[in-house]
Structure 1
């Protein structure tokens, strides 16, 4: 499934939440330099979704806060797990 997210690197804590428009936002501690934030984002999302790291891949937005990710899991599974994590 494809997942669109907005990422804010360099945050004080890691957090997943939906904004007023319903877009998934991800705050991560990793800095936005030398691909560290992208690598951390993939690891963080995989962990939150209970998936192996290889199941999460950035498709576009490598240097942009708006990213499109490809998740190798059923859409229903991802949505249920996101609902549990985001509260």
Structure 2
């Protein structure tokens, strides 16, 4: 299984594993069937989720409103949907 797929409406669906408290926010390779993302944020009051959404929006060159947390609001394992992304997931996986 891949860490990304496209749904029936051609939205990009990402399966991620999140590590908080890193020095910088970056993609860090595969972690099982998920892409590991290190976040420079703490998992308090939604700060980590907000940082993740902003990071993904910047990487995929879409507005923040097009990045949606589908599953895993309080978990390290998250499913993210990016609506109408024109970029290939390789923008994150250049180290994978």
Give TM-score scaled by structure 1 length.
Answer: 0.82
Give TM-score scaled by structure 2 length.
Answer: 0.75
Residues 53-72 of structure 1 aligned to structure 2 (within 5 Å):
53-72=64-83
| Structure 1, gaps ≥5 residues long | none
The one of 54, 57, 62 equivalent to 1:46 is 57
Runs (4+) off by over 6 Å? none
Aligned to 2:22: 11
Deviations 1:6-56 (A, max 9, x none): 111111111113226352111111110011100111001111111111111
More strand by share: 2
More helix by share: 1
Residues 64-83 of structure 1 aligned to structure 2 (within 5 Å):
64-74=75-85, 77-83=87-93
Give aligned pairs, total: 85
| Structure 2, gaps ≥5 residues long | 1-11
CA distance in 2, matches of 1:22, 1:61: 15
